[in-house]
Amino acid sequence: MKKITFFLILFTSNIFLSQELEEFRGVKITDIDSRVMYTDANIAEAMDYLASININAVLVVVLNGGYTQYPSAVMGNLFDGKSIDPEFAGRDPLEKIILEAHRNGIEVYPWFEYGFASFYSGGTAPFGGHILDKYPNWALRTIDGNICTKNGFDWMSAINPDVQDFINSLVIEVIEKYDVDGIEFSDRIPALPVEGGYDSVTVSIYKSEHNGVEPPDNFSDVNWKRWRADKMNQWYHNIREIIKSNSEDIFVASSPSIYPWGYHNYLQDAQTWIDEGIADHFIPQLYRYNLSEYLFELNQAILQTGDKKEILFPGLLLNIGTGSNEYIMSADYLMSAIKANRERGINGEVYFFYEGLRKNNNLIGDLLKSTHYKNPAAIPLRNNNIWRPKAKIVNETDEMASIIGKWDEYKMRGFEGGIFRTNDHAAKKYIGYNFNIEFNANYDLYYYSVPNTNLTDAATYKVYSSIDSTEYVIAQNNMEIKGWQKLESIYLTKGIHKVLTIDNSRVTDEKYLAADAAMLMINRKLSPEVIITDVSDNMAQEEIPRAIQLLQNYPNPFNPTTTIEYTIPFVETEHASMVSIIVYDILGNEIKTLVNKEQPAGVYKIEFDAANLASGIYIYQIKLNDFSDSKKMLLLK
């Protein structure tokens, strides 16, 4: 009999006891006074740190200074190829933040920070930036015909249909291109400085609805304010419908200025956004420099939300400015503010901004981890669905990796630790990555790339879904391909599956073949219906048997159906095991073939229906490659 060598493998499940704590713990990531977005390594480190202190959402800037912080076809087409902020040319910071955040189980909310503002001129000409240079009719104008500039920001008209279409196109682009969890609109969207509204487009719309009458010269006229605010409310209704038509699971988050100041100065009608259900999350900017002023605004926000307090997650100002003008929230103030939130039934907060957590050697971040954020929390309002479970990662050194041939450990920095490599091309070299899948879903599969000039340009990667397989030939010596690289989206069913293999079948020169980690993340655009209520890395591990197991059927005796359970362990082979299970009568006559196919490692159950058989003893036999085992069962009618 051929000897079969088995690995001892552990079920490392993500399922654990119910995660009852629900709090929204959001952090804003900006490209001003922060270097997070400027390198992939910075992004990965930041998301790892946020996960370590149990932050569960990031609100990342995607529109700032008249540019997008992701490659935008909309911007490129409208503005002569200016498809991304020049600081990020050749990169996609949003894509990397989504990848690294989701890897850590953190939700991502693209944040349209500039909103309907086109540029920050500081109040000094020239005004409007490249957006209004190209489309001057988009400008919001004051009664004297000048571009409306307030607090240094130059504004587009939020009532102009072309401007609305522009913003809508950016939002649609983001939700269609990326697997996001929400969209965040801030104090400039929807917003319109109360002094504005006298541009020709806005005036024309107003006149068409008021029998040709011009809008009042007094920009603070009550009815004129109401008309402009209502126009923006209608836009907000429309963009919400657009977002929700893409996915009901994408939250619409509003982070306006405090009310009613925001209404009187920027026509932000946050009360209507709450009352009419436009905002899923209400994140008012309670940016105050002392506790007493914060508590006053907090109580006002609670009154504003009324019976919808569950959507309220106050904005806290952690850090702003630099040098002698820098403000950093004190630890005492922060602890008191969160305590006040919880005492009032407020389950979460959003911080402006990330760097405040890391100041003074991570003082604030580490304090949160040791106190209010000691335990992980699920995002509220998702009906107890863990929308972003942490990714599953199998490293080349893990027990879930199946290895054929001798590979050398190499001290070149991989995802965790070093990597494996080999330059032996005479013998078959192979690594298979096996994953324990807890729920049927679509997943994104990644491999971790550590390029080097001494590596092969013909590494064979093979991807296995529950439906088919695909082969890729990848140049491991391409120095531009670093870190996590997506192979494809695949559908996997519950159980233990071989998902990815790497082998040297195409390697012909003296170059090395390298192997590092593989990763699976649920794809929520493709699998929004999957409900995950319990997730962690903390469940007690269960051992998979070293040998094939054929268990006694149950019930036994039976009438007329029974269940047969069997286990296939991992085996050092790149192929799934060929399994057959056949039922015989006591004389050895074949009655029925229950299984006859290749199956990966895992635990299986099959039902046997003996409704057409006579009472008596029957034998069921399993064969796996050269191994066989059998058991008796009794049918009593």
Per-residue pLDDT, 567 = 81
Lowest mean pLDDT among 155-169, 346-360, 421-435, 481-495: 421-435
pLDDT in tens, 78-87: 999 999 999 9
Three-state DSSP state, 384:
coil
Percent of the chain predicted with pLDDT > 90: 81
Phi/psi of residue 10, each to 5°?
-110, 140
pLDDT in tens, 6-20: 332 333 333 333 447
pLDDT mean over 281-309:
97
Whether 470 has a pLDDT exceeding 70, the answer reads yes
pLDDT in tens, 492-526: 988 888 899 999 999 888 899 999 999 999 999 99
Of 498 and 94, which is predicted with more confidence?
A: 94
Taking the whole predicted model, whether its pTM rises above 0.85 is answered as no
Lowest mean pLDDT among 17-26, 239-248, 405-414: 17-26
Q: What pLDDT band is residue 573 in, cutting at 50, 70 and 90?
A: low
Q: What span, in angstroms and rounded, lies between the C-alpha atoms of 96 and 24?
A: 22
Per-residue pLDDT, 547 = 58
Whether 571 has a pLDDT exceeding 90, the answer reads no
- Cis before 569? omega within 30: no
CA atoms within 13 A on the CB side of 183: 30
- Pairing between strand 616-624 and 10-11? unpaired
pLDDT mean over 480-493:
94
Most confident among 286-290, 539-543, 601-605 (mean pLDDT): 286-290
pLDDT mean over 401-408:
88
Whether 283 has a pLDDT exceeding 90, the answer reads yes
Per-residue pLDDT, 11 = 30
Per-residue pLDDT, 16 = 35
Whether 480 has a pLDDT exceeding 60, the answer reads yes
Pick from 617, 611, 608, 609: nearest CA to 635: 617
Per-residue pLDDT, 575 = 57
Q: What span, in angstroms and rounded, lies between the C-alpha atoms of 370 and 376?
A: 12
Q: Are 79 and 130 in contact (CB under 8 A)?
A: yes
- State the Cα torsion 503-507-513-517 to the nearest 10°: -30
Question: Which domains, from first to last, does the chain contain?
Answer: 24-370 (3.20.20.80), 389-522 (2.60.120.260), 545-635 (2.60.40.1930)
Per-residue pLDDT, 570 = 60
Longest dimension (CA), the chain: 103
CA angle 382, 393, 52 (to 5 degrees): 60
Q: Are 162 and 156 in contact (CB under 8 A)?
A: no
Instruction: For the chain, give the mean pLDDT.
Output: 91
Per-residue pLDDT, 357 = 97
CA atoms within 13 A on the CB side of 296: 8
Three-state DSSP state, 134:
helix
Residue 218, C-beta contacts closer than 8 angstroms, at least 6 positions apart: 224
Per-residue pLDDT, 530 = 93
Pick from 210, 247, 250: nearest CA to 228: 210
Q: Are 309 and 345 in contact (CB under 8 A)?
A: yes
